[in-house]
Amino acid sequence: MASNSGTATRAGFDGLVEKLVKLASTPSKLFKLAFRMLPGLPLGWRVRFDAIQGAPYAYGIYKAALQAKALEIPNITAMEFGVAGGNGLVAMEHIADAVERELGVGVRTYGFDIVEGLPMPRDYRDLPYAWSQGSYKMDEKRLRERLRRSTLVLGDVRDTVPEFFDKNDSPPVGFISFDLDYYSSTKEALRILEHPTERYLPRVLCYFDDTLGHDDEYHFDEVGELLAIKEFNARHEQVKLGKINGLRYKRCIPDQWNEGFFVCHFFNNPLYNAHVSRIPTELPLV
């Protein structure tokens, strides 16, 4: 029988081989790495080439900020549901710095989490075959040391989401990352989109991290995040979550995160019909 340390070494070796094969068979990944190393590359180009830590966050916050700029909205809110150790939220902070510097749009960042890790799954729709209670427990002290500018909203989203706008005078929401894993948690988190329309940009960029997943996760719209999205749309007439169709074809370097991007359309927002096609995306290279 193999020892535990032997099994771990083997798994590490297998993972390394897999990574190297993926890198060699996808030359675009090498481009990304090369672009990442280029000093002084403007944010617009970093977003275009995914040459940045936290590419989906960068795409979502940058696109939201461009929309706000075109609509002359000075500040936006960016949220992450599911913070854990904070890798995503820390990346969002760096992106917020760059957006403020380069586009002149202020970005306020919030992170929601229950602290003790994944709660007890409620039923099969939470995919207990893929996730288990207690995973991703947060070290709150360590997380606070890593964060510079975010507000943490701690507690079960079932309690924190309904009271969020009463307690926070946040600018219009422009970007939300949903990374709570479960159907039940995502369903509660989506209530953040059920407040008066002035709380949002006309179109809120939404990233759902758990719609593709690993090889052994089988996502579809009867379980997990995709079910929560389907039910949200069924409940609303004037607010709809729509997948960005074919996003991978619009990207210079397609990636699997492209599959998880939706936009929440607020048809009843007074600015929904304002023309924004002249958003200045063609930024100079230097």
Ligand X SMILES: C[S@@+](CC[C@H](N)C(=O)[O-])C[C@H]1O[C@@H](n2cnc3c(N)ncnc32)[C@H](O)[C@@H]1O
Residues near ligand X (CB under 6 A) are: 80, 82-85, 87-88, 112-114, 117-119, 136, 138, 156-157, 179-182, 185
Task: Decide: helix, strand or coil at residue 272.
Answer: coil
CA atoms within 13 A on the CB side of 223: 17
- CA dist 177 and 199 (Å) reads 17
Shortest distance in whole angstroms from residue 2 CB to ligand X: 29
- How many residues are recorded in the chain? 286
Task: Decide: helix, strand or coil at residue 221.
Answer: coil
- First-last CA distance in the chain: 58
- CA dist 78 and 206 (Å) reads 10
> CB-wise, 112 or 262, nearer to ligand X?
112
> CB-wise, 67 or 210, nearer to ligand X?
210
The pair of structure tokens assigned to 217 is 């996760």
Shortest distance in whole angstroms from residue 10 CB to ligand X: 25
- CA dist 177 and 113 (Å) reads 12
Shortest distance in whole angstroms from residue 55 CB to ligand X: 13
Question: Cα 109 vs. chain centroid, distance in angstroms?
Answer: 12
> CB-wise, 157 or 226, nearer to ligand X?
157
Asked whether the beta carbons of 265 and 203 are under 8 A apart, the reply is yes
Shortest distance in whole angstroms from residue 226 CB to ligand X: 16
Residue type, 227: L
Show the CA angle centred on residue 147, arms to residues 144 and 151, nearest 5°. 80
> CB-wise, 182 or 257, nearer to ligand X?
182
> CB-wise, 152 or 264, nearer to ligand X?
152
Other residues' Cβ atoms within 10 Å of the Cβ of residue 34: 11
DSSP code for 277: T
Shortest distance in whole angstroms from residue 51 CB to ligand X: 19
> CB-wise, 44 or 111, nearer to ligand X?
111
Shortest distance in whole angstroms from residue 165 CB to ligand X: 17
Distances (CA, A) of 127 to 18, 118, 191: 26, 12, 21
> CB-wise, 83 or 96, nearer to ligand X?
83
